[in-house]
Amino acid sequence: MAKCFALMGWSLPVIESMQKLNKPYVVVSFPDFEGYAKENNIPFVSYQFDEWSDTSNSLDLYEKLKPFEADVAVPLFEETVEWAGALNSIYRGDPRVLNRAFLFRNKAMMKRKALIGGLRVGLFEEVYNKEGVKNFMKRLNQANLQIDGEQDSWVHIKPFASAGTVGHRLLRSMQDIEEKCQESDFPCLAESHLPGTEFSCEAFIHGGKIRFLNITEYVKLGYSNFIPEGHHLHSKRDKIMKEMQKLVDLFGIEYGMIHPEWFLTENDELSFGEVACRIPGGHILELAAKAYDFDALGAFVLCHDPSLTEEELNEILPPLDARPKQFYGNVMIYPHKDVINKLEIPDELKEESYFLDHNLIPPYTNQKINSREGFGNHFGTVNFKGEDPDRMTELLLHYENVDFYH
């Protein structure tokens, strides 16, 4: 049993879970949260995560966490993955734990590792400027045996170390490269477009074994997803499980949760997209918690603890073969107009039997909408619940295009 979990990053729902599970914890986060923590009796160590220096480093943080007897570090956000890795290296006396953390923070390194281990990945390359992307697209076109007049092959560029879709650009042509790429995008990873349906897995790992696997079906990346996976994906569950264990073995993950994204082609081939080891976006764990009726955030934290017993594991995680009857899905709502004045919930939604709830916020008068970065800044989420995953897909696709803000 861990003496104390160091939660790397500020998340009220996670803190709430720890309190309810009655587990010892300390929150490590930016000084901004210190006041609130004090007021609410939340054990807290203030740390400037974005600073790395003689006085701000993992050894120093290790010392600061000593009074709390912290012995397990849990990364809640992308930006705290290395910090948690460094601390866990010390706690477990294994320097490679930190190296593994770096693996999650460098998308090129991550892909290379996957490639070595025999996972199917797209063609990828580190690029340093627009010319680099153009050359990459040219070589891809050649490999795809492009004939004059045919469309260019699609290329994605992503920052090496950003969460989810932040900074992700899809480039469909040479002209796109010219128009969409910014100086500040580089260096970054360029990769070929992977065909197929995208989905993610949330694998809770303990002792190097997958103890529970959630599959999240993406209806549209950045907009909507639902849990558990629909019928078709479900029929591939064994295959997915096998690939997942391969990934876990290959990356040497022993404890925690990983959240990779995969593509399933029509020929039933799985391609690896990328993988993270923090709390996934899109309210995925919220949906999983409801669908499987478990404390997903609590489980996320506890799985990081090497000394967790078999009984405790069985208690906190759903059985590996669980298959819920109710599907929970959500769609994130973005305004469609540049200036909005009011929120209108359409009658068809109110009358929809799958509709569960929403947390949309009415805008200010004449609120201007900034262009968005990644898929952040949504105005709220609409949640659905129902028994038929096909109907769920339909609904999520439909509401993505409904304008709630006028």
Partner 1 sequence: MHNPVLTDNTYQKFEEQHKEFRQATALTRPEKAQKMMGQIDLLIDSPEGLDFIFQNIESLSKAGIFEGSPWADPSKLVASLVNGTLKSGHPNSTIEILSELRLLAIAKGMMEIKGTSPTDAENFIQEVIVANLEFVFNEPLEETRLVMSEHELKKVHTLFKFISEKTKLDNVKEKLVEELTLICEQRPVVTEKQRKIIALVKEKIDLDPKKDLDARLLKFQRCIYRPTINSVNKDYKKYRTLLKTLTFDQLREESIEMSRAMLSFGLVSQYHPILVIHLIEKEQKELVPLCLGLTEAGTARWREHEAFICDLILKTIHPYNAQCLYGLAKMLESGIFSREAVRSGLANMLTIKVHPEVEERILKSTKTPHEKISALQYLMGALFRVLGQPLGVGQGNNPTCQSARGISMWSQHAPAKLINMVQTAATYNDLTFRFEAKEIKSSEVGLGLVQNLDHNLDAVSVTLVPMLDKVYNEMMLRASGRGEDPHKWVNPALYGQWIQIGFASAYDYLSNAIVDYNGFISVLYAMCHPKYNGGHRLIYPNPVGIFITSAKGDMLGFHAVSLLRVDVDFKGVYRAYFLNPNNEGRQDWGQKIKPSVYGNGEIYGESSLPLHEFAARVYAFHYNNLEAADKMDNVPDLEIQKIKKLAKESWGRSYTWLETKKIW
**What minimum distance in Å lies between the beta carbon of 374 and partner 1?**
22
Q: Cα–Cα distance between 406 and 400 in angstroms, integer?
A: 15
Contact partners, residue 354, CB within 8 Å, separation at least 6? 384, 385, 386, 391, 392, 395
Q: How far is CA 275 from CA 96, 102, 243, in A?
A: 18, 12, 13
Choice between 185 and 352, CB closer to partner 1 = 352
Choice between 140 and 297, CB closer to partner 1 = 297
Contact partners, residue 130, CB within 8 Å, separation at least 6? 177, 178, 181, 186
The window from 10-18, 214-222, 230-238, 303-311 that contacts partner 1 (CB under 8 A) reads 10-18
Choice between 344 and 390, CB closer to partner 1 = 344
Choice between 15 and 127, CB closer to partner 1 = 15
The window from 65-73, 83-91, 156-164, 336-344 that contacts partner 1 (CB under 8 A) reads 336-344
The residue whose two tokens read 């600061």 is 64
Cα first-last separation, the chain: 53
Contact partners, residue 215, CB within 8 Å, separation at least 6? 199, 200, 201, 227, 228, 229, 233, 234, 237, 240
Choice between 80 and 383, CB closer to partner 1 = 383
Output phi, psi for 386, to 5 deg: -175, 175
Binding mask 342-371 for partner 1 (x = CB under 8 A): xxxx----xx-x--xxxxxxx---------
Q: Which of 70, 69, 81 is nearest to 109 (CA)?
A: 81
Q: Is the separation of the CB atoms in 360 and 343 below 8 Å? A: yes
Q: Is 21 in the site for partner 1 (CB under 8 A)?
A: no
Choice between 53 and 353, CB closer to partner 1 = 353
Of 12, 170, 320, 339, the residue at the interface with partner 1 (CB under 8 A) is 12
Q: How many residues bind partner 1 (CB under 8 A)?
A: 22
Choice between 12 and 59, CB closer to partner 1 = 12
Q: Which ranges in 252-309 belong to alpha helices (H)? A: 284-292, 296-302
**What minimum distance in Å lies between the beta carbon of 51 and partner 1?**
27
Q: Which of 370, 374, 379, 376 is nearest to 338 (CA)?
A: 370
By CB under 8 A, the residues from 39 to 68 that bind partner 1 are 40
**What minimum distance in Å lies between the beta carbon of 22 and partner 1?**
12
DSSP reduced 3-state for 275: strand
The window from 50-58, 193-201, 254-262, 340-348 that contacts partner 1 (CB under 8 A) reads 340-348
Of 136, 385, 392, 396, the residue at the interface with partner 1 (CB under 8 A) is 385
Residues of the shown chain interacting with partner 1 in the complex, contacts defined by CB under 8 A? 12-13, 15-16, 19-20, 40, 342-345, 350-351, 353, 356-362, 385
